[in-house]
Amino acid sequence: MRALKHLNAYFIRYKWMLLLGILFITISNYFGVRAPELIRYTFIDIEKWISQGAEPGVDRNYIISQALTAALVYAGIYMLYALLKGLFLFFTRQTIIVMSRHIEFDLKNEIYAQYQKLSLSFYRRNNTGDLMNRISEDVSRVRMYIGPAVMYITNLAVLFVLVIYQMLAINPELTFYVLLPLPVMAFLVYTVSKRINKKSEEVQAQQSILTTHAQEAFSGIRVIKTFAREDSIHNDFIKESKLYRSKVLSLVRTDALFAPVITLLIGLSTILTVYIGCLKAFDGEVKVGVIAEFVIYVNMLTWPFATVGWVSSLIQRAAASQERINEFLHIEPEIVNHNHNEMTIEGHLQFRNVSFTYPDSGIKALRAIDLEVKPGQTLAIIGKTGSGKSTLASLICRLYEATDGEVLLDKQDIRSANLDILRSSIGYVPQDVFLFSDTIANNIAFGLKQGSASQDKIVQSAKDACIHDNITGFKDGYETLVGERGITLSGGQKQRVSIARAIIREPRILIFDDCLSAVDTETEDQILKNLRRIMAGRTSVIISHRVSTVRHADKIIVLQQGSIIEQGSHQELIDKKGYYFDLHRKQLLESQKIG
Ligand SMILES: Nc1ncnc2c1ncn2[C@@H]1O[C@H](COP(=O)(O)OP(=O)(O)O)[C@@H](O)[C@H]1O
Ligand SMILES: [Mg+2]
8-54 pLDDT, tens per residue?
999 999 999 999 999 999 999 999 999 999 999 998 888 888 888 88
> Which pTM does this prediction carry?
0.85
> Are 301 and 159 contacting, i.e. CB atoms less than 8 angstroms apart?
yes
Residue whose CA lies nearest to ligand 1 atom number 2: 358
- Cα of 431 vs centre of ligand 2, distance in Å, is 6
- Cα of 365 vs centre of ligand 1, distance in Å, is 6
Residue whose CA lies nearest to ligand 1 atom number 16: 388
Q: Do 347 and 443 share a domain, yes or no?
A: no
The verdict on residue 330 lying in a domain is no
Ligand 1 within 6 A of CB of 386: yes
Ligand 1 within 6 A of CB of 361: yes
- Cα of 391 vs centre of ligand 1, distance in Å, is 6
Residues (pLDDT < 70) of the chain are: 594-595
Between β-strands 412-413 and 404-409, what pairing exists: parallel, antiparallel or unpaired? antiparallel
The verdict on residue 95 lying in a domain is yes
Q: Do 533 and 519 share a domain, yes or no?
A: yes
> Where is the domain boundary, 128, 143, 171?
171
Sheet holding 378-383, edge to edge: 426-429, 509-513, 539-544, 378-383, 555-560, 563-568
**Residue 100 CA, distance from chain mean position:** 16
Q: Do 581 and 502 share a domain, yes or no?
A: no
What burial class does residue 514 get, using C-beta atoms within 10 Å of its C-beta: 0-12 exposed, 13-18 middle, 19+ buried?
Answer: buried
Ligand 1 within 6 A of CB of 365: yes
Q: Do 115 and 157 share a domain, yes or no?
A: yes
Ligand 1 atom index nearest CA of 387: 22
The verdict on residue 300 lying in a domain is no
Ligand 1 within 6 A of CB of 123: no
Ligand 1 atom index nearest CA of 383: 22
Measured between alpha carbons, how far is 483 from 70 in angstroms, rounded to an integer? 74
> What is the domain range of residue 57?
1-171
Q: What pLDDT is recorded for position 594?
A: 66
Q: Do 82 and 161 share a domain, yes or no?
A: yes
- Cα of 386 vs centre of ligand 1, distance in Å, is 5
Q: Do 369 and 258 share a domain, yes or no?
A: no
Which ligand is closest to the CA of 360, given by its number? 1
Q: What pLDDT is recorded for position 64?
A: 87
- Cα of 432 vs centre of ligand 2, distance in Å, is 9
- Cα of 430 vs centre of ligand 2, distance in Å, is 9
> What HEC string does 194-228 produce?
HHHHHHHHHHHHHHHHHHHHHHHHHHCHHHHHHCC
The verdict on residue 296 lying in a domain is no
Ligand 1 within 6 A of CB of 359: no
What's the total number of domains in the chain? 4
The verdict on residue 217 lying in a domain is yes
Instruction: Give the number of C-alpha atoms closer than 13 A to the C-alpha of residue 422, restricted to the C-beta side.
Output: 25
Ligand 1 within 6 A of CB of 391: yes
Q: Do 251 and 161 share a domain, yes or no?
A: no
Ligand 1 within 6 A of CB of 363: yes
Ligand 1 atom index nearest CA of 562: 14
> Where is the domain boundary, 506, 534, 558?
506
Measured between alpha carbons, how far is 236 from 99 in angstroms, rounded to an integer? 44
Q: Do 195 and 70 share a domain, yes or no?
A: no
Ligand 1 atom index nearest CA of 393: 17
Q: Do 194 and 270 share a domain, yes or no?
A: yes
Q: What is the DSSP string of 264-319?
A: HHHHHHHHHHHHHHHHHHHTTSS-HHHHHHHHHHHHHHHHHHHTHHHHHHHHHHHH
Backbone angles phi, psi at 464, to 5 degrees: -65, -30
Ligand 1 pocket: which of 123, 127, 363, 517 to mutate (most atoms within 8 A of CB): 363
396-416 pLDDT, tens per residue?
999 999 999 999 999 999 999
Q: What pLDDT is recorded for position 190?
A: 82
> Where is the domain boundary, 171, 188, 206?
171
Q: Do 371 and 482 share a domain, yes or no?
A: no
Which ligand is closest to the CA of 365, given by its number? 1
388-398 pLDDT, tens per residue?
999 999 999 99
Q: Tell me which residue of 493, 482, 505, 496 sits closest to 435, measured CA to CA.
A: 482
Coil, helix or strand for 376? coil
Residue whose CA lies nearest to ligand 1 atom number 7: 358
Q: Do 158 and 280 share a domain, yes or no?
A: no
Domain CATH code at residue 54 = 1.20.1560.10
Domain CATH code at residue 376 = 3.40.50.300
- Cα of 31 vs centre of ligand 2, distance in Å, is 71
> Are 468 and 530 contacting, i.e. CB atoms less than 8 angstroms apart?
no
Q: What pLDDT is recorded for position 366?
A: 96
Q: Do 163 and 182 share a domain, yes or no?
A: no
Q: What pLDDT is recorded for position 186?
A: 80
- Cα of 562 vs centre of ligand 1, distance in Å, is 10
- Cα of 410 vs centre of ligand 2, distance in Å, is 25
Q: What pLDDT is recorded for position 370?
A: 95
Ligand 1 pocket: which of 390, 428, 432 to mutate (most atoms within 8 A of CB): 390
- Cα of 385 vs centre of ligand 2, distance in Å, is 6
The verdict on residue 293 lying in a domain is no
Measured between alpha carbons, how far is 467 from 477 in angstroms, rounded to an integer? 11
The verdict on residue 491 lying in a domain is yes
The verdict on residue 313 lying in a domain is no
